[in-house]
Structure 1
Amino acid sequence: MGAIRITNMQFHTYNGVYAEEQKLGQRLQVDVELRLPIEAQVQHDDLKETVNYGDVYRAVAEFVTTHHYQLIEMLANQLLQHLQGLFAVSGITLRIRKGAVPIDGIFDTVEIEVSTDD
């Protein structure tokens, strides 16, 4: 099974529990992995035999910037379902990172990961 990955897509969004997050917004980072049988499926150097990366990027960007949730877990679940409906793949793993989290501590990001079954 092969995988197509687009990593560290960044979007300004208005997701969060707190009023400041919903008003000012913040940057989210998104990674998507699409699993499909590249070895068997791509035989003729033809884009129709695989997934168009540009279509994936546009689908993620449109969804993430137009849907607003309190929890990035909910955003991840809904985006995962949306991508499943758009792309004929065997499985998807999605990671969403948020750096501006109101936690008293030192860390880079909080990351949520969701996957479909292969």
Structure 2
Amino acid sequence: MQNAIIKITNLRLRTYIGFNPEEQQKKQDVVLNIEIHYPGDKACMNDNVEEALNYKVITKSIIDHVENGRFLLLEKLVSSVLDISRSHHWVTYANVTIDKPHALRFADSVSLSLSWQQEE
């Protein structure tokens, strides 16, 4: 089996994230990195669009969810993006890391990662 790996790198979005009053008043930047695995045998052999996982559809769903949502915790945001990333029945593994730039004064960002793997 050929394991196809889709990587969405540094998807920059804005959302309401945090529980402090100032965080709930204005959108903040978040940076998403997503990895999705699925069996790519048929797509590789047949060059048929219907046999490939459509990353544009997944990405549009994630953008809509993040930019139109409100989240108190980074954990909830990452978990919900992971759910969208793994929602197609072909997906065997997904990993999502979301960075919250400037969350700490002396750090470039704070990030949280969650992953999911299909049970065999």
Q: How far did 1:53 drift?
A: 2.1
Q: Which residue of 2 aligns with 1:50?
A: 52
- Counting only pairs closer than 5 Å after superposition, residues 1-118 of structure 1 correspond to structure 2 as 1-38=3-40, 40-42=41-43, 43-86=45-88, 88-101=90-103, 103-104=104-105, 106-118=106-118
Q: Verify the 8 A CA contact 2:10 2:32 in the aligned structure 1.
A: yes
C-alpha contact (below 8 Å) 1:13/1:68 kept by paired residues: yes
Quick check: 2:17–2:71 contact (8 Å CA) kept in 1? yes
Q: Shift of residue 44 of structure 1?
A: 1.0
CA contact (8 A) 1:26 1:100 kept: no
CA contact (8 A) 1:29 1:97 kept: yes
Shift of residue 82, structure 1, vs aligned partner: 2.9
Structure 1 unmatched ranges of 5 or more: none
CA distance in 2, matches of 1:54, 1:3: 14
Check the 8 A contact 1:51/1:87 in 2, yes or no.
Answer: no
Q: Which moved more, 1:82-91 or 1:106-115?
A: 82-91
CA RMSD of aligned residues (A): 1.5
Q: CA deviation at 1:86?
A: 4.1
Letter in 2 for 1:107: A
TM-score by length of structure 2 reads: 0.86
Distance in 1 (CA, whole Å) between partners of 2:42 and 2:82 is 23
- Which structure has more strand as a fraction of its residues? 2
Kept in 1: contact 2:18–2:24 (CA 8 A): yes
- Name the CA shift for 1:62/1:30 in 2 (closer, same or farther; >3 Å): same
Unaligned runs of 5+ in 2: none
- Helix, strand or coil at the partner of 1:85: coil
Q: SS of the counterpart of 2:79?
A: helix
State the 4+ residue runs in structure 1 displaced beyond 4 angstroms: none
Change (3 A) 1:116 1:107: same
Matched pairs, number: 115
